[in-house]
Amino acid sequence: MNPEKIYPRTNDHETVYLKSVVKNPNIIVGDFTMYNDFVKDPRQFEKNNVLYHYPINHDRLVIGKFCSIACGAKFLFTSANHTQASLSTYPFPIFFEEWGLDVQNITSAWDNKGDIIIGNDVWIGYEAVILSGVTIGDGAIIGTRAVVTKDVPPYTIVGGVPAKSIRKRFSDDTISDLLNIKWWDWPEERIRHHISDIQAGRIGRLQTSCKGESHDDL
């Protein structure tokens, strides 16, 4: 993948490769992951879609390779979680000057739930919301306007508010095989050679490739 390539398609400025437009070192995006936005400039993903992501928390958004992120998807981080350990949810520590508090305690205004981790080949639907501390497994699908509050297993479809499991995409054996194959980590030319197999579900051919068979033998 050309790290400087922003737009995957000629004359389509609504779709970008996220890796090429994200600058925040705490947002890590894999190759070929794309974001589409027909409302706002998709190059502003970091500003418009990754919310409450303050450097003081040191939390990260990690997105794998070959993910598809639809318009308006949001990633809500720790600072959106007003603390529930206090008798009040009012964020007094943020207004330390007003109340004469120690600036060092500012992060006590919220509950730190950690990083958001998105696996590879994940499809996140229109205006879905992913909350801090959530891990989404490889191959999962997040439904339109779902609010994901808990981890999502690999190759599982979830939807609703809060998001709940709808079904697995494949059998347990197929899921296990795909997680072992990890086609998204293959060299680009090898993926290119097997695109038709991936699309047609010919998992046996992918397994054969993993065993070191030459392309001429397939």
59-93 b/e with 16+ CB inside 10 Å = b? Answer: bbbebbbbbbbbbbbbbbbbbebebeeeeeeeebb
Which tens digits make up the pLDDT trace of 97-121?
999 999 888 888 888 889 999 999 9
At residue 214, the pLDDT reads 47
- pLDDT tens figures, 161-187: 999 999 999 999 999 999 999 999 999
Order of strands across the sheet with 135-136?
A: 27-29, 61-63, 116-118, 135-136
67 in Cβ contact with 120 (< 8 Å): yes
The CATH number for 15-169, chosen from 2.160.10.10, 3.40.50.1110, 3.40.50.2300, 3.90.1150.10, is 2.160.10.10
Angle between helices 172-181 and 203-210 (to 10 degrees): 40
**Residue 82 annotated among the catalytic residues of the structure:** yes
Which helix (DSSP H) or strand (DSSP E) does residue 51 occupy?
strand 50-51
Catalytic residue among 13, 58, 82, 193: 82
